[in-house]
Amino acid sequence: MTQPTYSIVIPIYNEEDNINEMYRRLTGVMQQLDGECELILVDDGSKDNSLNLMRELHHLDSRVNYLSFARNFGHQVAVTAGLNFVRGKVAIVMDADLQDPPELASSMIEKWQQGYQVVYAQRTSRKKENWFKRLMAYGFYRILRQLADVDIPEDTGDFCLMDRQVVDVLNAMPERNRYIRGLRAWVGFRQTAVKFERDPRFAGEVKYTFGKSLALAISGIVSLSRVPLRIATYLGILSAGVALLMILLVLYWRFSDRTTPLIGFTLITIALFFLGSVQLFCIGILGEYIGRIYEEVKGRPIYTVKEIAGVSPQSNTSVH
Ligand code: UDP
Ligand code: MG
């Protein structure tokens, strides 16, 4: 196959009920495109029939390529891997569950043709997601924006288009703990948004459990900001202030009338718990950063591949 213009990267984890429908919708989109297109499906260690369906699609249609991880490595790693294999002039990243409407790709490509190098999809609404997830997401993106050293657009996920130049830069970044939407904002280049309404899942369960989402959120903050480390200092100052107040209180009591009993044990217990939790909290923050340093230093590959069809890693990648 000749070099395609467009490479569509799709991370897949247990999406057997979505794959065929996704392919059907994508063939519609690919027909409209003015250049050749390849699909890079990344199987993130699915335990269902997903990989078989991917094999079938590959035999049916030479534009469908895939690689399969030896185990589940997580969404961000799957996207990273997909980008390592992109051959096109443009990469488009989208989810397999059709929450990211494939048809939006054509408006993204239009923006690219106007000269933008990163076109990210920005959600205007989240249909049928529960209020808790919506609240958490709303809060998180706003906190991240406050903390991060780079400007991360609100309500954007990994659904985006990236020019070859941007993909090359991302691939060359040796960082192992990858928060793609953060790195994408960090690299710069000409960026713009296209708005869209996030559809509900076509089929299947959400793969991002609360735990995974929280881990992603923490990873996002830690990878883009050092403000949390400073929180330790502020909390230290705060607890010193509280201690000083208490000393003044005791002195006041000592030199004024001593008939009123001092609050004693309660005060000590509260102070103990307060200090204890502040210290644990700060150790936790330190731990997040040290843990990441440890991950980086180990230098293990960030994923292992057990099967690959139709594609090979691009030479300039420094993470694989
Ligand atoms: N996914 C993955 N590995 C995982 C979890 C999810 O590759 O460990 C894929 C999943 O198949 C889907 C995309 O990442 O294509 C987004 O997952 P999901 O729809 O569960 O998350 P949400 O849409 O709620 O962000
Ligand atoms: Mg989804």
Q: Tell me what the mean pLDDT of segment 31-36 comes to.
A: 88
Mean local confidence (pLDDT), 25-36: 89
Q: Hey, which of 95, 126, 155, 197 would you mutate to test ligand 1's pocket, going by the most ligand atoms within 8 Å of its Cβ?
A: 95
The rounded Å distance from CA 111 to ligand 1 centre is: 26
Counted residue by residue, the chain has a size of: 320
Cβ of 215 closer than 6 Å to ligand 1, yes or no, is no
* Cβ density class 105-142: b for 16+ within 10 Å, e for less: beebbebbeeebbbbbbbbeebeebeeeeeeebeebbe
Look at ligand 1, atom 2, and give the residue with the nearest C-alpha.
75
CB atoms within 10 A of CB 28: 11
Distance CA 286, CA 28 (A): 49
Pick the residue with more confidence: 305 or 233?
A: 305
What's the 130 CA to ligand 1 centre distance in angstroms?
17
Cβ 132 vs Cβ 198: under 8 Å:
no
Give the model's pLDDT for residue 318: 56
pLDDT band at residue 16, thresholds of 50, 70 and 90? Answer: very high
Whether this prediction's pTM lies above 0.80 is answered by no
In terms of pLDDT, which residue wins out, 36 or 255?
Answer: 36
Ligand nearest to the CA of 11: 1
Confidence of residue 317 (pLDDT cuts 50, 70, 90): low
CA-CA distance, 241 to 221, in Å (whole number)? Answer: 28
What element of type H or E holds 37? strand 37-43
Q: How confident is the model at residue 268 (pLDDT cuts 50, 70, 90)?
A: confident
CA proximity to 160, closest of 133, 129, 186, 191: 191
Closest ligand to C-alpha of residue 129 is 1
Whether residue 92 has pLDDT greater than 90: yes
pLDDT at 130: 77
- Find the mean pLDDT for residues 182-201: 88
Tell whether the torsion through CA atoms of 183, 186, 192 and 194 is positive or negative.
positive
190 contact partners, CB below 8 Å, separation of at least 6: 115, 116, 117, 118
> 97: Cβ below 6 Å to ligand 1?
yes
**C-beta 77 within 6 A of ligand 1:** no
Complex confidence, ipTM: 0.93
pLDDT, average across residues 220-228: 83
- What's the mean per-residue pLDDT of the chain? 86
* Domain ranges (residues) in the chain: 6-224+301-309, 226-298
263, pLDDT greater than 70: no
CB of residue 11 inside a 6 A radius of ligand 1: yes
Average pLDDT over every residue of 97-103: 89
pLDDT at position 140 is 82
- 13-17, 77-81, 116-120, 270-274: the lowest-pLDDT one: 270-274
Q: What is the 292 CA–ligand 1 centroid distance (Å)? A: 23
- Given a cut of 70, is residue 303 above it in pLDDT? yes
- Which residue shows structure tokens 């004024």? 256
Atom of ligand 1 nearest to the CA of 72: 8
Ligand 1 atom having least distance to the Cα of 97: 15
Q: Which CATH superfamily is domain 6-224+301-309 in?
A: Spore Coat Polysaccharide Biosynthesis Protein SpsA; Chain A (3.90.550.10)
